[in-house]
Chains A and B, each alone.
Chain A
Amino acid sequence: ETGVTQSPTHLIKTRGQQVTLRCSSQSGHNTVSWYQQALGQGPQFIFQYYREEENGRGNFPPRFSGLQFPNYSSELNVNALELDDSALYLCASSPSSGANVLTFGAGSRLTVL
Chain B
Amino acid sequence: GQQLNQSPQSMFIQEGEDVSMNCTSSSIFNTWLWYKQEPGEGPVLLIALYKAGELTSNGRLTAQFGITRKDSFLNISASIPSDVGIYFCAGPPSGTYKYIFGTGTRLKVLA
**Chain A: residues with CB nearer than 8 A to chain B?**
4, 33, 35, 41-45, 48, 56, 58-59, 90, 92, 97-99, 101-107
The smallest C-beta distance from A55 to any residue of chain B, in angstroms, reads 8
Enumerate 16 A-B pairs (CB-CB under 8 Å) in ascending A order: A41-B3, A42-B101, A42-B103, A43-B43, A44-B3, A45-B1, A58-B1, A58-B98, A98-B97, A99-B30, A99-B92, A101-B45, A101-B48, A103-B45, A106-B40, A107-B41
**Closest A residue to B103 using CB positions:** A42
The smallest C-beta distance from B90 to any residue of chain A, in angstroms, reads 8
Q: Which of A33, A42, A43 has the most CB of B within 10 A?
A: A42
Q: Mark B89-106, 1 if CB is under 8 A from A, else 0.
A: 011100011111111100
CB pair A56–B97 under 8 Å, yes or no, is yes
- Complex Cα spacing A35 to B31, Å: 19
Interface residues on B, range: 20 to 34
B67 within 8 A of A: no
Residues of A within 8 A of B59 (CB): none
**Closest B residue to A55 using CB positions:** B97
B44 within 8 A of A: yes
Known: A43-B101, A48-B98. 17 other contacts (CB 8 A): A4-B42, A41-B104, A42-B88, A42-B90, A43-B90, A44-B3, A48-B97, A90-B42, A97-B97, A99-B31, A99-B91, A99-B92, A99-B97, A101-B45, A104-B43, A106-B41, A107-B42
